[in-house]
Structure 1
Amino acid sequence: MKIGVIGYGLRIREVIRHIKLIEPAVRIAGIVDVRDFPELKDEDGRAIPIFSAASDMLAAQKLDGIMIGTRCSEHTDYALVVLPYGIPLYMEKPVSTSMEKWKELYKAAAIYNNTPVVVSHPLRLTSIVQKVKAIVAAGDIGDIAHVQAANNVPYGGVYYHAWYRDDSITGGMFLQKATHDFDYLTDIIGCRPERVCAVASKQVFKGNKPAGLKCKDCEDNRTCEESTVGTTEEENWPYCCFAEDTGNEDSGSALVEYENGVHLSYTQNFIVRRGAGTRGARVVGYKGTIDFDFITGIIKVIHHHKDQEDIYRFGAGDGHFGGDANLAANFIGVMKGKENSISTLQEGLRSALLCLKAKESAQTKNYQEIVEL
């Protein structure tokens, strides 16, 4: 099978690695990227064509699949180009970074609804989430009544040292991180979100250092706790995270109400380090509570009315706790025409809409209704 790649960055290369581990015969038939690459060759030593526009690649190559891995603000633009061709599409999250682009993509998704799309929301496909869903489905905790979730990110520096610091590209941290969490949590709850209120703040990664300052050029780079000078991160995380041009909030929280009355409390921050990192949730029912954490790989089921706790342990998994491999396998099946997407564009749109409305709520200090067009 031949795939075309739009935006040949680190993230999409990681997904392609998983695809080739499963299906070694897959080949990259063309790349569209804003950067100038030295000659790239496939496993057979053949040069991979580089195109200046997606339309040129689509005209020149017969493709079995297309993958969009550009920077976030361009995801929608390229999807609008690709969808009319009907070729299976793998699309990085978030699917849109503004309401204007979200509306365009929503309309295109309805028009080209026969184009299969797999959105990069791998957490829903992890063994942990699948096990939690199975426990809920078995009735072990009763109906879900309340969900408490947290994402304390121990590698938050990437969002202030690297290109991610530009929130005109990322759309802010709800769209960057909560889009994953809102997706898998909504999948567990199994219901449509109706409204959201949220707050966000920037308490740490702010300052008055000059715009564009790099750590290597800063006089404080030997004393600053965030300096990347002399570390393995220096090349990819070069900028000062206390400069005046650093965007992105460094913490945020949201309260989401679902149409069945369940409410989700969610909080994220990018300040913690080392062992303070957590990512997971507490799912509460009348009969029991499920606690799980992706980082520890542990699920604990606490039974409320009997003296019993069930513990499940999972390995760390390769790439998003094992979700990347499962998502890659699904995309292969979609390209072969043997499977339907298990992370659809409609679900990607719903997650992005929830994030956009959370961002709007934090800015306006008002509840926002999650009303699809």
Structure 2
Amino acid sequence: MRKYLHKNLDDAHFGCFSMDMKIGVIGLGKRLNHMVNTCMREAEPELSVVAAIDPDEAAVREALPEKEAKAVKFVRSVEELAAAGVDAIAVGTRCNLHAKYAMDVAVTGLPLFLEKPIATTLEDAMAMESAFQDTQTKVVVSFPLRASPLCVRVKHLLDEGALGIPQHVMAVNYVPYGDVYFNSWYRDYGVTGGLFLQKATHDFDYLAYCLRSPIVRVGAMKSCGRVYREAKFAEVDPDPNCGFYEQIGTPETGMNEDSSSALIEFENGAQGVYTQVFYSKRGAARRGATFSGHQGTLSFDWYANQATLIHHFQPFEDKIQVDSDLHHHGGDGVLADNFVKVVRGEASSISNVWAGLQSVYACLAAKESADKGEFCEVRQLKKVGMGEASYH
């Protein structure tokens, strides 16, 4: 990796100076396009995409600025990508390929921006855990919720003891755009692995982050095929309250859920309840949590951009309003800035690979629990201290 140096001592307080920052991309779809071409370029104006692995060459060239579109080199392997002189790599493929490419990048030692979920099977997650134990590769996992200003403020209040010891959390995600998980490529259960892995990976992560503790046990349930159904059944079941879509599967063959819920236990003894619903619309959108302790109750909602702290033993109620309405509630910009600093060697990741894996293990346990109808233990990272999982 090429080095980034201060221009001179007088400029040091302005941050790191670089002539450019060259990255390689793997799967430049809608999500990674946003992160690279909007967020990362804002954090580093001299960033350029110089190499890519993507089957849709035309779409990649169309997404890039004209000069880069003409010069970008298309390759077939991570080894070739690294050989193209890149300073870092960003992975935004379909979900079931995240782990494979991440492990390939681990061999190179290059900084990595990795989309979530970082794995969709236990086998892939365990292989990643092994692959990243001895690598120098620094990873920023795409967990913008934990990086959002509102979540960071909530965590600070919890850390400061506003509730005493947090004992319980109730979290919800009422998704107003749930159709996307049935009318686009997300409908492929073999790719997503279900919506605990696809959506709750964000929520389980920010809950563990706020409570400074991993999830250790899960009891979950799910509802499939009651609202969203396979299109071939539309003729025999023309229920106007149902949405029928092509090739979304069945409860028997595997399909994304209409809704799912989990009871969760944290290592520090706190308990939680989580629910995600995918048929909500318009003003029904909700995403956030209510934390409670003996001293108070703290609630927040990203869609409302606000938090409320109720003091149990004082006649006060504090309101916090976030003065922004940014994509992913402001977290994407924070992640991009952090990734640029990681590449420069100026910062550590605020959402590292261990946090990504711990979230995957919790989601896989929830998925298993919903299938079996019983509580399931969450695999814990064996060799990595929890401080390294970015919970502190």
TM-score (norm 1): 0.89
The 5 Å alignment of 1:81-160 reads 81-112=104-135, 114-160=136-182
Return the alpha-carbon distance in structure 2 between the equivalents of residues 35 and 262 of structure 1: 46
Structure 1 residue 135, shift from structure 2 partner = 1.1
Q: How does 1:53-64 map to 2 (within 5 A)?
A: 53-59=77-83, 61-64=84-87
Do the aligned residues in 2 keep the contact of 1:195 with 1:257 (CA within 8 Å)? yes
Cα deviation digits, residues 150-172 of structure 1 (max 9, x gap): 00101000000001001100010
User: What per-residue deviation string (whole Å, max 9, x for no partner) do you get for residues 227-280 of structure 1?
Assistant: 8xxxxxxxxxxxx52766362011101111112210111010101100111000
Q: Is contact 2:228–2:242 with CA below 8 Å preserved after alignment?
A: no
Structure 1 CA distance for aligned equivalents of residues 248 and 24 of structure 2: 38
2:202 is the alignment partner of 1:198 = no
1:266 aligned partner: 274
1:281-320 → structure 2 map (5 Å cutoff): 281-320=289-328
What are the Cα deviations for residues 24-71 of structure 1, in whole angstroms up to 9, with x where unaligned?
Answer: 100001110122426555454542112233332222x11111000000
Shift of 1:317: 3.2
Whether 2:50 is the aligned partner of 1:29: answer: yes
Distance 2:281 2:294 in 1: 35
Select the residue among 7, 15, 20 that pairs with 2:41.
20
Cα RMSD after superposing both structures: 2.2
Q: 1:151-230 counterparts in 2 under 5 A?
A: 151-210=173-232
Q: Distance in 1 between matches of 2:120 and 2:159?
A: 34
From the superposition, tell whether residues 210 and 35 of structure 1 become closer, same or farther in structure 2 (CA, over 3 Å): farther
The AA in structure 1 aligned to 2:155 is K
Distance 1:15 1:53, change over 3 A: same
Q: What CA distance in whole angstroms lies between the structure 2 residues aligned with 1:260 and 1:51?
A: 46
User: How many angstroms apart in 2 are the aligned matches of 1:23 and 1:264?
Assistant: 39
Unpaired runs of at least 5, structure 1: 228-239
- The answer as to whether partners of 2:183 and 2:246 remain within 8 angstroms in 1 is no
Name the residue aligned to 1:241: 245
Q: Is 1:50 aligned to 2:69, yes or no?
A: no
Letter in 1 for 2:118: V
1: CA distance, partners of 2:241 / 2:222 = 24
Q: Contact 1:34–1:52 at 8 Å: present in 2 too? A: no
Shift of the 224–6 alpha-carbon distance from structure 1 to 2, 3 Å rule, reads farther
Q: How many residues align?
A: 352
Unaligned runs of 5+ residues in structure 2 are 1-20, 383-392
Structure 1 Cα separation of the partners of residues 67 and 278 of structure 2 = 42
Query: How far does residue 369 in structure 1 lie from its aligned partner after superposition?
Result: 1.1
Contact kept in structure 2, 1:151 and 1:268, CA below 8 Å? yes
Q: Structure 2: how far apart are the matches of 1:150 and 1:343?
A: 22
In structure 2, the CA distance between the partners of 1:175 and 1:21, relative to structure 1 (3 Å rule), is same
Relative to structure 1, the CA distance from residue 305 to residue 322 in structure 2 (aligned partners, 3 Å threshold; closer, same or farther) is: same
- CA distance in structure 1 between the aligned counterparts of 2:119 and 2:227, rounded to whole angstroms: 25
Q: Which of 248, 252, 261 matches 1:253? A: 261
Preserved contact between residue 50 and residue 71 of structure 2 (Cα < 8 Å): no
Is the partner of 1:186 in helix, strand or coil? helix
In 2: Cα distance, 1:84 partner to 1:205 partner: 44
The one-letter code sitting in structure 1 at the alignment partner of 2:348 is: N
Give the % identical residues.
39
The alignment's TM-score, normalised by the length of structure 2, stands at: 0.85
CA distance in 1, matches of 2:264, 2:174: 19
Which amino acid letter does the alignment assign opposite residue 206 of structure 2? Answer: Y
**Separation in 2, partners of 1:6, 1:205:** 35
Q: 1:369 aligns with which of 361, 364, 377?
A: 377
Any conservation in 2 of the 1:160–1:205 contact (CA below 8 Å)?
Answer: no
Question: Which residue does 1:230 correspond to in 2?
Answer: none
The answer on whether the counterparts of 1:207 and 1:243 sit within 8 Å (CA) in structure 2 is: no
State the 1:319 CA deviation.
1.6
